[in-house]
Structure 1
Amino acid sequence: MTADPHGRAAFRALHAGPAPLLLPNAWDVASALALVADGHPAVGTTSLGVAAAAGLPDATRAARAATAGLAGRLAGLPVPVTVDLEDGYSDDPAEVAALAAALPAAGVNLEDSTGGRLADPGRHADRVAAVTAVAPGLFVNARVDTYWLGERADLATTLARARRYVAAGADGVFVPGRLTAAEIAVLAAELPVPLNVLAGPDHPLPRLAELGARRVSTGSLLVRAALDAAVAVARRLRDGEPAPPATPYAEVDARTAALGA
């Protein structure tokens, strides 16, 4: 039996490569398998995608069971998986740690907001510390939601919160939101752990590499784009146009069968 069944060391090493880790975020087994088939070395989950697929609102702690269930189904992937745990689904650091430690995953994301508002950074640091204490080797990506929520969205506040999480044991810091090039550069230079940002229209991957980002997540972009694409195909058929090419049925089915073998 391998000493690292969830690829935690490999996942950590991906943050130190010559280029930033582009982390695509899946919302179900089929999307994760498609991303692996396209050659991505790691896959994350997206809380919005998982929640929406289950008919639940995001960032309300309603998708805990759906998220844990998907993590279990993705355990057989041949690449590391990191799981978006929203805020840990609890105010109790011990409950958050127990959930994270039980996941068959290489990493987790923990955001410092609840119900659309920033949480007390001390309380969030306690959650980070609890997870790192009981799950050594699990890559804990601490998310700072200042820019995402537009609440105290400045570098001083963001860095202060991020440094508390790093001191508590966070392995990386995720600052989602629409950041300027200068803001990304300062965050990357000032933080002693890999900086994670969202993929967006302003800064392509090569530019983010120049600015110092070490991980670039797609977040909910892929599931939203997939919905747009599905609707576009249905509209095309409704309008009398021929069906477009798509991944063959047998290929999708074979991927799923191989995962369960």
Structure 2
Amino acid sequence: MATHGDDNRTYTATAAEYTEACARFRRLHEPGHLLILPNAWDVTSARALMQAGFNAIGTTSLATAFGAGVEDGTGQTRDQTIDLARQLGRLKALVTVDIESGFSERDDEVAAVVRELAEAGIVGCNIEDGTSTGKLVPADRQIEKIRACREADADIFINARIDTYWVGSAEGDAAANEVLERARRYVDAGADGIFIPALADAAQIRAYCKEIPAPVNVLYSPAGLTVAELNDAGAARLSTGSFLFRHAISGAVEAVREIVGGALPGAEVPAYGEFLG
């Protein structure tokens, strides 16, 4: 059973309703029809994105970690992640949650995280194979984690992140081969999608989209490809990752600097009584 709701009420979804919500999220991953997935960091940012018309929303582990005063990717924010998931699960949105590498090296504890997400009404999760030490988790070990996630819940969309281009030591053809091998094995283990951050080459993305037997997710970058270019390459999902969070914080700092400098920024910002309607 999963709890959902809106600002004023909650209700309990049946298993069938949860399964259908996961299926709807899965259907949004259509190559060539890019799912734009903005990543929220709290209930307010999620509501703002929903008001802007985004009905599928992700979270960002960096914002969760920084909000807790710890480093991202170190597995220290399990409780905060689950708490955020429960809050976002009350909203009328399809929500997928970043669980870093599962917050544990024990498969039963990784599975427990996924079960808690499902119970909160979360339809997807990201699990990564990079480590805070700058190395990749051995593929066999990551496969065990993905299998644990799948066994924990049959419906939740598992987005397996491959960090070869971020922390891997391979380059060129060796890196491409490593990504493909991991992707195929992760899909065989139960992953529904493959997330490859740090990709900005259209030809490489097109090749992965053709050869990987699952929807391919890429990460937004100001130096990356446009929505049209990603659609042309066959990508299925574009995540903003921590970009919106970083953009918001940098915007806040810039605004106060302008105030100190004698300017009056913010004419376009909704007034107190108008914010979020």
Bin of the TM-score, shorter chain as denominator length: over 0.9
Query: Which of these residues, 200, 218, 226, is aligned with residue 248 of structure 2?
Result: 226
Q: Structure 1 residue 4 and structure 2 residue 25: aligned?
A: no
2:32, 2:235 within 8 Å by CA — same for their partners in 1? no
Residue 50 of structure 1 aligns with which residue?
64
1:148, 1:178 within 8 Å by CA — same for their partners in 2? no
Residue 258 of structure 2 aligns with which residue?
236
Residue 128 of structure 1 aligns with which residue?
146
Partner amino acid, structure 2, of 1:205: V
Query: Which of these residues, 112, 118, 122, is aligned with residue 129 of structure 2?
Result: 112
Q: Structure 1 residue 29 and structure 2 residue 43: aligned?
A: yes
Q: Structure 1 residue 68 and structure 2 residue 82: aligned?
A: yes
Q: Structure 1 residue 152 and structure 2 residue 166: aligned?
A: no
How far apart, in 1, do the equivalents of 2:113 and 2:209 lie?
A: 30
Q: Structure 1 residue 247 and structure 2 residue 270: aligned?
A: yes
How far apart, in 2, do the equivalents of 1:79 and 1:17 lie?
A: 22
Deviation per residue, 1:218-253 (Å, 9 max, x gap): 011111111110011101111111141312323446
Deviation per residue, 1:79-138 (Å, 9 max, x gap): 100000000011111110111111120000000122231001111111101111120110
Deviation per residue, 1:50-83 (Å, 9 max, x gap): 1112211100011111111111110111110000
Q: 1:231 to 1:194 in 2, by over 3 A?
A: same
Partner amino acid, structure 1, of 2:216: L
Residue 207 of structure 2 aligns with which residue?
186
How far apart, in 2, do the equivalents of 1:37 and 1:207 lie?
A: 27
Range with bigger deviation, 10-19 or 196-205: 10-19
Partner amino acid, structure 2, of 1:72: R
How far apart, in 1, do the equivalents of 2:274 and 2:67 lie?
A: 22
Deviation per residue, 1:31-59 (Å, 9 max, x gap): 11111110012000001011112211100
Alignment of 1:13-28 (within 5 A): 13-16=27-30, 19-28=33-42
Residue 140 of structure 1 aligns with which residue?
158
The normalised TM-score by structure 1 is 0.93
Partner amino acid, structure 1, of 2:17: D
2:57, 2:93 within 8 Å by CA — same for their partners in 1? yes
1:85, 1:109 within 8 Å by CA — same for their partners in 2? yes
How far apart, in 2, do the equivalents of 1:64 and 1:247 lie?
A: 34
Count of residue pairs the alignment pairs up: 254
How far apart, in 2, do the equivalents of 1:131 and 1:79 lie?
A: 22
* Deviation beyond 3 Å, 4+ runs, structure 1: 251-254
Q: Structure 1 residue 99 and structure 2 residue 113: aligned?
A: yes
Q: 1:209 to 1:18 in 2, by over 3 A?
A: closer
Partner amino acid, structure 2, of 1:114: T
1:21, 1:214 within 8 Å by CA — same for their partners in 2? yes
User: Percentage identity across aligned positions?
Assistant: 42
How far residue 17 of structure 1 moved from its aligned partner, in angstroms, is 7.3
How far apart, in 1, do the equivalents of 2:66 and 2:202 lie?
A: 32
Give unpaired runs (5+ residues) of structure 1: 255-261
